[in-house]
Amino acid sequence: MGVGWDALARWGDDAERVERMTDGVANEVWLVRVGGRRAVARLGSRSDADLAWETDLMRALDRAGVSVPLPIPTTDGRWFAHGLTVMTYVEGEPPETDADWRRVAATLSELHARTAGWPQRPGWRSSSDLLHHDTGTKIDLTAMPADGVARCRAAWARLAGRPTCVVHGDPNPGNIRLTDDRVALLDWDESRVDVPALDLVLPHNAADLDEVELDLVSQASAAWEAAVCWDDAYARRRLAEVRGD
């Protein structure tokens, strides 16, 4: 069996790509058809250990009643192959209103409650870990200016010592699909174990954080995004939001 998109044949002789959805730096994502049904396939360079962590998490969350895309196994029962994963297609619309985002906040809080004590994603670091480490998956603090690193670490230090759990890591409208009876969280590529509040900087302050907490978490979240995306214009803009006090 070949590598790359040739691996899609592991999901059946009729498995085929239909339409490109995204083509980012880390992954290429396509709408595919597997067994006559729509699905979403993601091809990237993540390790088997990383993909096992993610697919195990998806199945555990589904069993716990949290709506997520489910991995579709290959014909020989594997959850991924050669960096390729295939997930169920999730219908719905992105959140727009205050009420929509409050539903999202409730779903994120359920995710956090269900995953207390979850092991860290292989190779990743939490914000607290990065107080003492310079690198972790997409983050390399040695590439950032020293004053920027100091500001990021000061923001993360204010949340250190809190309980941790799985955080989605990127709850933007494009990664959320709502129907009348459920909120589905998509695209778990940025998920890891960290402080749950980092997921709760939401439009309309939907998680009802008080003024002090919202400021603390917004600073830590901006620091994380600056570090993850460094060095582009977005990362520099986010870093500029992180105060030095």
pLDDT tens-digit readout, 88-147: 999 999 999 999 999 999 999 999 999 999 999 999 999 999 999 999 878 999 999 999
Residue 93 in any domain: the answer is: no
Indicate whether 30 and 133 sit together in one domain. Answer: no
CB burial of 204-240 (b: ≥16 within 10 Å; e: otherwise) equals ebbbebeeeebebbbbbbbbbbbbbbbeeeebeebbe
Residue 245 in any domain: the answer is: no
Indicate whether 84 and 39 sit together in one domain. Answer: yes
Q: What is the rounded distance in angstroms from the CA atom of residue 110 to the CA atom of residue 65?
A: 9
**Residue finishing a domain among 67, 88, 109:** 88
pLDDT for 25 equals 57
Cβ 93 vs Cβ 109: under 8 Å: no
Cβ 105 vs Cβ 202: under 8 Å: yes
pLDDT for 77 equals 96
**Residue finishing a domain among 88, 123, 150:** 88
**Residue finishing a domain among 33, 57, 88:** 88
Residue 67 in any domain: the answer is: yes
What's the number of domains the chain is made of? 2
Give the DSSP per-residue string, 143-190: GS-HHHHHHHHHHHHTTTTS--EEE-S---GGGEEEETTEEEE---TT
Cβ 91 vs Cβ 177: under 8 Å: yes
Indicate whether 120 and 196 sit together in one domain. Answer: yes
pLDDT for 23 equals 52
Rg of the chain's alpha carbons, rounded to an integer?
A: 18
Indicate whether 75 and 137 sit together in one domain. Answer: no
Residues facing residue 192 across a β-bridge: 167
Please tell me the total number of residues recorded for the chain in this structure.
Answer: 245
Indicate whether 165 and 184 sit together in one domain. Answer: yes
Report whether pLDDT(24) > 70: no
Indicate whether 28 and 72 sit together in one domain. Answer: yes
Residue 13 in any domain: the answer is: yes
Provide the residue range defining the domain that includes 77. Answer: 4-88
pLDDT for 69 equals 97
Report whether pLDDT(30) > 60: yes
Indicate whether 164 and 65 sit together in one domain. Answer: no
- On the CB side of 35, CA atoms within 13 Å amount to 12
Residue 226 in any domain: the answer is: yes
Indicate whether 33 and 66 sit together in one domain. Answer: yes
Q: Which CATH number characterizes residue 236's domain?
A: 3.90.1200.10
Indicate whether 79 and 108 sit together in one domain. Answer: no
Q: What is the rounded distance in angstroms from the CA atom of residue 149 to the CA atom of residue 156?
A: 11
Residues in contact with 191: Cβ distance below 8 Å, sequence separation at least 6, in sequence order = 54, 57, 121, 166, 167, 168, 169
